[in-house]
Amino acid sequence: MATERRKVIEVLNGATVSPPPIWLMRQAGRYLPEYRQTRGKAGSFLNLCYSPDLATEVTLQPIRRYAFDAAILFSDILVIPDGLNRNVHFVEGSGPRMDPIDEAGILALKPEGVLDHLQPVMQAVGQIRAALPPQTTLLGFCGAPWTVATYMIAGHGTPDQAPARLFGYRHPQAFAQLLAVLAEISADYLVAQIDAGADAVQIFDSWAGVLGEAEFETYAIAPVRRIIQSVKARRPDAKIIAFAKGAGMNLRHYRQKTGADMIGLDWSVPLSFAAELQKDGPIQGNLDPMRVVAGGKALDDGIDAILQVLGQGPLVFNLGHGITPEANPDHVTQLVNRVRGLGNGS
């Protein structure tokens, strides 16, 4: 029997699919009541990430509700520093915390046991792939080295990642070492996810937008290129999406310099520029998540503008960043129906 079409993979291979396939970053999350119920059972956020059964359940929840064209593994970009024994934990209402790392800490990092620590994640990948409809693409992911490093340096999130930027200027060799270690582990992690059943993977560089031009080359492009080259050297058929949020004009050559098969675009990327980037290959994005919160005409107008400008080329429809907890689940139904041409849906 022929394998059912996985439309996201078709776009990753350069095809134009109409209507475009759709999934949403953070589609399994706090806007869904069923997620909040499962999250309550887990006890802690990391417990949820490391419980294969619960991670499988929350990954499948938005697929059951909306029949998205892709499911993305439920996990977190900070499981790698957690595997490096950085005392990662999540404080309700204020986000992740960990022990800040210094030069001595970077030199003492031991990456050898990280994949063992992450075996529950790979178990979840296998369970999710087995439970998904055949036509639904399963995406694995990791955080880009720069973004993960920002949390490791500061010990928490900051508005402009000044601690990591300053550390990079003051201690360039140590910072380069940290990025190299994270790139190596991340490549191994993505290969393991692919081997466990992921159809494609995404690299999230959520803090790329705070970097200047030279730093973007050194901190954002080079480590991601290293990951992609390493993964593709071992798994030549691997399909990789790279998402550098806020990168603006630095996106012009991001695909070519990193080797990504598809690039994700945040909502600040003008559609005219997105259309230029699409000439070089598939793109993903880029609806403002606040339009999903607003619903109604604001949501329809945003969707229609993207489809009008980008719908005639290789596109995976997505948000320009993760869906927010304030989003009404009915507005997501409106979004999916609008993209698929089924009317407003609400």
Where are the chain's structural domains? Answer: 7-339
How many Å apart are CA 339 and CA 337, to the nearest integer? 6
Please determine, for residue 335, whether its predicted confidence score (pLDDT) is greater than 80. yes
pLDDT digits (tens, 9 = 90+) for 186-228: 999 999 999 999 999 999 999 999 999 999 999 999 999 999 9
User: 87 burial class (0-12, 13-18, 19+ CB within 10 angstroms)?
Assistant: exposed
Are the beta carbons of 269 and 320 closer than 8 angstroms? yes
User: 321 burial class (0-12, 13-18, 19+ CB within 10 angstroms)?
Assistant: buried
3 pLDDT tier (thresholds 50, 70, 90)? low
**191-230: buried (b, 16+ CB within 10 Å) or exposed (e) per residue?**
bbbbebbbbbbbbbbbbbbbbeeebbebbbbbbbbbbbeb
- Lowest model confidence (mean pLDDT) among 8-12, 90-94, 238-242, 299-303: 90-94
**252-281: buried (b, 16+ CB within 10 Å) or exposed (e) per residue?**
eebbebbbbbbbbbbbebebeebeebbeeb
Q: At residue 183, what is the residue type?
A: A
For all residues of the chain together, what is the average pLDDT?
Answer: 96
Question: Under DSSP, is residue 240 helix (H, G, I), strand (E, B) or coil?
Answer: strand
pLDDT of residue 26: 97
Spatial CB neighbours of 256, under 8 Å, sequence gap ≥ 6: 280
Closest of 204, 341, 336, 215 to residue 263, by C-alpha? 204
7-339, what's its fold?
TIM Barrel (3.20.20)
The residues carrying an active-site annotation are 26, 30, 39, 76, 151
How many Å apart are CA 103 and CA 198, to the nearest integer? 35
Please determine, for residue 94, whether its predicted confidence score (pLDDT) is greater than 90. no
343 pLDDT tier (thresholds 50, 70, 90)? low
pLDDT digits (tens, 9 = 90+) for 257-286: 999 999 999 999 999 999 999 999 999 999
Query: Which H or E run includes 130?
Result: helix 119-131
pLDDT of residue 345: 41
How many Å apart are CA 261 and CA 241, to the nearest integer? 6
